[in-house]
Amino acid sequence: MAVKNYLSVLILIAVVVFIQLATKATDTSYYLTQLTMTGYYSLVIIGLCLVMGYAGQISLGHAGFFAIGGYTSGALTTYNLTLLLEQGNGLVSFLSDKGLLISTLDLYGEAVLYVNPWLAAILAVILTACIAFFIGIPVLKLKGHYLAMATLGFGIIIFRVVLATEIFGEADGISEIPGFTLFPGVCINGDFGNRVMNYYIAWGLVLIGVILLLNLIHSRVGRALRAIHGAEDAANAMGVNTSRYKLYTFVISAVFAAVAGIFLTHYNGGIGPSEAGIMKSVRYVAIVAIGGMACMWGALTMGVLLNFMSLRGMFGSYDDAVFGAIMIIIMLFAPNGLLNLPVWQKISKSIAGKEKG
Amino acid sequence: MTTELFTQYLFAGITYGIIYAIVAIGFNIIYNTTGIINFAQGEFVMLGGMISISLNPLMPLPLAIGFAVLLTTLIGALIEMIFIRWLVHPSVLRMIIITIGISILIREVALHIWGEGVRSLPYFYGNEISSINILGTHVSPQVLWVVGICSVIVALLSLFFKFTPLGQEMRACSANRLAATLCGINAKNMVTLSFMLSAGIGALAGCVVSPITYTQYDCGTGLAIKGFTVAVLGGLGNSMAAVAAGLLLGILEAFSIHIVPLAFQDAISISILLLILFIRPHGLFGSSEAAGLKEF
Amino acid sequence: MALLEIQKLNRRFGGLHAVNNVSFNLDQGMIKAVIGPNGAGKTTLFNLISGNLPANSGSVFFDKQPIHGLKPFQIARCGISRTYQNIKLFPGMTALENVMVGRHVRSKAGFLSGMLNLPSCWSEEKEIRKKSLELLELLDIAEFADTEALSLAFGQQRAVEFARALASEPKILLLDEPAAGLNIYETAEIARLIIKIQNRDITVLLVEHDMSLVMDISDEIVVLSFGEKIAEGLPAEIQKNKEVIQIYLGDDDA
């Protein structure tokens, strides 16, 4: 892969570091909280960008995968296994012997035993991948409106499930989720002291995601995906196993969403049913469309801007309305995304023209 | 299950089912003329209910309903003219996002005008405890209003499309837009008309069902999804089938309360949606070849 | 030796019997043309062979192996490649990239190695790029390698599609009206090209309307009319065949 592709990654790193230093300098370190959350949401968005922009499949249910990741790891790390251990439950004893459980004391000094966040995270990812795989097989045979509705339906089912299940906290969601100690000294949680570290963890994750996806897009598989998006029949005739490629892409994007869900849940210390809601899924799709579907940087930029402003409450009670309005306006006037407007091309051409002449 | 309970479920199913069918027909009318799925369809139902509730204190009920339907019809026309009319060959994704955006906007405006509260129109006849004895069961007279008015809507619509010049022009437009234009039919106006029609029937349905189901700013989304399910179930574009499919879904949902906890009731209609999409996307009454030819 | 055997292939679209009990063989190394008036079912036949359309009944054997019922990508992997009547190049990709996709069956870097950008990918990518450029040079359009494919002139787009189809090193090449929309000079180019391809040991089955091209280069011809095969044989025989003349020129009654 050409060096120039990595150049944009370096710019991203520079911007990330610059912003953190800027907040330190202007004494606005509290922005880091929203910036960290924005980072995790961006992970969902770049995954969705792969599916929508390169494989050409719309998914109105990606919040569902985010929720599966977040809720699974959240539930596993808050469910108190002490009673089961005392009762001699085989699985729990096995896990305990292998050191896969963490035991602490809660606020009242009672013994609490829960699954190690690493194990919980791995299980959550595997669960999401499996669900995405099995849902993907029938869903990806659909096209257009049918695909949109099917994915919307999937998202709603997840929403209903978490809303109605006791272990997922029903309407209140799960709270008091413990921090996730990645390595000794590196912990994901909401403590103010760890703000800067968490900011870099989040954006480090985004960086890894961006690099992986850029690599994929510029590889043989990426070419095949673009071919599928462009002319699926012809891609098939050229030997591309289109259904399998679409499925794998879907699963990868679901895993990205799940990882974001897991990490953000530990960061926030909680998760609620709204994370699985239609509005969240619609937002992800809207941001990808606004940023320009095949332009990962566009989606990333728009995602950061819009999510940050939304999280800071800049839109007040008009949050959803603003998103709705932006969706409409951009799709009416800039259907290929904000960064693909003809005006940019005119500008870049005139700049190039000036250099030549 | 006692006969009384059975009939209760049946009537509940028919009531909700026929409303779903009206929403589905609204989808079909717009889909037939434009190929667009209007995600904001459910909002028309909500608007009909909300506007009539607000107008009711100022005027007799029939007038309130009439004005509500009129206003919603105008809103439908406005939406088409502002957002849709001047688009040239929009892609499916673009239309999906635009109509979802419209649906969100309408919902948010409704939230800011009417608040989060649940409201309803008064019963057309009697009140919430009056009942008529049908087949040994106590049924609210409102149910008869719902079934009656919706049946009239369906009947008038089919007469409109079959016998009136305007209706025939709309059908020509949906069959072959280019040919219709060449015959002198103004296709753009037909599109506006289809939006107006869908909005109007949706609003009327929203008014007539409001006393039973109540109206809330966000009741549109769920209705849209169920309406779409019914439309696909019957075969997209086929309005008669939509009626049958609507009744089917409504009755299935109603009887499912007997087995499934209330919280999962929504999951029933979504599961049916997913099932039909996976197994038979051209619907129960559609043909796969005809569906393959249409460009959704 | 019959490389491709088509036996009693049938395809209906509702009431239309587009391909009606068609059988013929394609021997290794030959150029065979399928001709017939518009609506005779030629492109449908191609779609049946390449797997883009399922047949109602009948079988297709490639090198004695049944390929009817297989998906298009599986048939591509067997070694059958095709071009399209209306050109189906991939939008948003350059000419070179289009051809590189054609090389998909001859390469194997998958999702994991793609994402991790493993060194094994680098050499494979280089090879894909080199082979694809060679094909573009073969077709005299190497200068357009980095141009967006859909912005090229029609004749050049045809050439890119050719290169793409050749990139998989197929044993059989299905050409769907390769001369459509081309003038005499361009058609002559195509004829030379197809002979060149034949010399590379690739068997060619083509659908074509341009009789000069067909008579010029075909070893054998199959004639379809209303979905049925009405004649098969050497070009000279077909030219004299009364039925063939009739379906093209009509009856002498008036």
Distance from CA of A228 to the nearest CA of C (A): 8
- Beta strands C220-225; C57-62: pairing state: unpaired
Q: Which of B154, B161, B164, B163 is nearest to B175 (CA)?
A: B161
Q: Which of B61, B27, B67, B63 is nearest to B43 (CA)?
A: B27
Q: What is the pLDDT of residues A187-244, one digit of tens each?
A: 777 777 778 888 888 999 999 999 999 999 889 999 999 999 889 989 999 999 999 9
Which chain A residues are within 8 Å of C75, Cβ to Cβ?
237
Does the pLDDT of residue A161 top 50, yes or no?
A: yes
Residue at C148: amino acid letter? E
Q: What is the ipTM of this complex?
A: 0.89
Task: Please give chain B's pLDDT, 296 residues, in tens.
Answer: 777 788 888 888 999 999 999 999 999 999 888 888 999 999 999 999 999 999 988 988 889 999 999 999 999 999 999 988 888 777 888 888 899 999 999 999 999 999 888 888 888 877 777 777 777 777 888 888 888 999 999 999 888 888 988 888 888 887 887 888 888 888 888 889 999 999 999 999 999 989 888 889 988 988 999 999 999 998 888 888 899 999 999 999 888 888 887 777 788 888 888 988 888 888 887 766 555 554 43
In Å, the largest CA–CA distance within chain A is 83
Q: Provide the pLDDT for residue B295.
A: 41
Answer whether B270 sits within 8 Å of A332, measured CB to CB.
no
pLDDT band at A356 (very low <50, low <70, confident <90, very high): very low
Distance from CA of A242 to the nearest CA of C (A): 8
Cα–Cα distance measured from residue B41 to residue B199, given in angstroms and rounded to the nearest whole number = 7
| pLDDT: which is higher, C134 or A104 | C134
Q: Provide the pLDDT for residue A355.
A: 47
Q: What is the pLDDT averaged over residues A25-35?
A: 81
User: Best interface-test mutation with A: which of B36, B93, B236 has the largest number of A CBs within 10 A?
Assistant: B93
Q: Which of B72, B12, B7 is nearest to B262 (CA)?
A: B12
Cα–Cα distance measured from residue B220 to residue B206, given in angstroms and rounded to the nearest whole number = 10
Q: In this complex, which of A160, A321, A324 lies closest to B267 when CB atoms are compared?
A: A160
Q: What is the pLDDT of residues A18-28, one digit of tens each?
A: 888 888 888 77
Q: Provide the pLDDT for residue A257.
A: 96
Whether C100 contacts chain A with CB within 8 A: yes
Q: In this complex, which of A157, A289, A325 lies closest to B105 when CB atoms are compared?
A: A325
Q: In this complex, which of A222, A231, A236 lies closest to C90 when CB atoms are compared?
A: A231
Residue at A304: amino acid letter? V
pLDDT band at A357 (very low <50, low <70, confident <90, very high): very low
Does the pLDDT of residue A171 top 60, yes or no?
A: yes
Instruction: Please provide the DSSP assignment of A330-343 as one string.
Output: HHHH-TT-GGG-HH
Q: Which chains touch C (3 or more CB pairs under 8 A)?
A: A
Q: What is the pLDDT of residues C118-143, one digit of tens each?
A: 888 888 999 999 999 999 998 888 89
Q: Residue C75 is inside which H or E element, if any?
A: helix C72-78
Q: What is the pLDDT of residues A130-160, one digit of tens each?
A: 999 999 999 998 888 889 989 999 999 999 8
Distance from CA of B231 to the nearest CA of A (A): 11
User: Best interface-test mutation with A: which of C103, C105, C108, C117 has the largest number of A CBs within 10 A?
Assistant: C117
User: Best interface-test mutation with A: which of C96, C111, C176 has the largest number of A CBs within 10 A?
Assistant: C111
Whether C126 contacts chain A with CB within 8 A: no
Q: What is the pLDDT of residues B124-177, one digit of tens each?
A: 877 777 777 777 777 888 888 888 999 999 999 888 888 988 888 888 887 887
Whether B221 contacts chain A with CB within 8 A: yes
Please tell me which residue of chain A has the smallest CA distance to B231: A146
Q: What is the pLDDT averaged over residues A169-181?
A: 83
Q: What is the pLDDT averaged over residues A93-115?
A: 78
Task: Give percent of chain C above pLDDT 90.
Answer: 50
Q: Which of A339, A220, A204, A297 is nearest to A259 (CA)?
A: A204
pLDDT band at C254 (very low <50, low <70, confident <90, very high): very low
Q: What is the mean pLDDT of chain A?
A: 85
Q: In this complex, which of C100, C105, C115 lies closest to A223 when CB atoms are compared?
A: C100
Q: Provide the pLDDT for residue A54.
A: 79
CB A67 within 8 A of CB A132: no
Answer whether B274 sits within 8 Å of A145, measured CB to CB.
no
Q: In this complex, which of A160, A279, A327 lies closest to B97 when CB atoms are compared?
A: A327
Q: Provide the pLDDT for residue C189.
A: 86
Cα–Cα distance measured from residue B113 to residue B107, given in angstroms and rounded to the nearest whole number = 10
Q: Which of A337, A339, A336, A55 is nearest to A223 (CA)?
A: A55
Torsion of CA B110, B116, B118, B122, to 10 degrees: -40
Cα–Cα distance measured from residue A96 to residue A98, given in angstroms and rounded to the nearest whole number = 5
First to last CA, chain A: 32
User: Best interface-test mutation with C: which of A50, A51, A219 has the largest number of C CBs within 10 A?
Assistant: A219
The pTM (predicted TM-score) of the whole model is 0.89
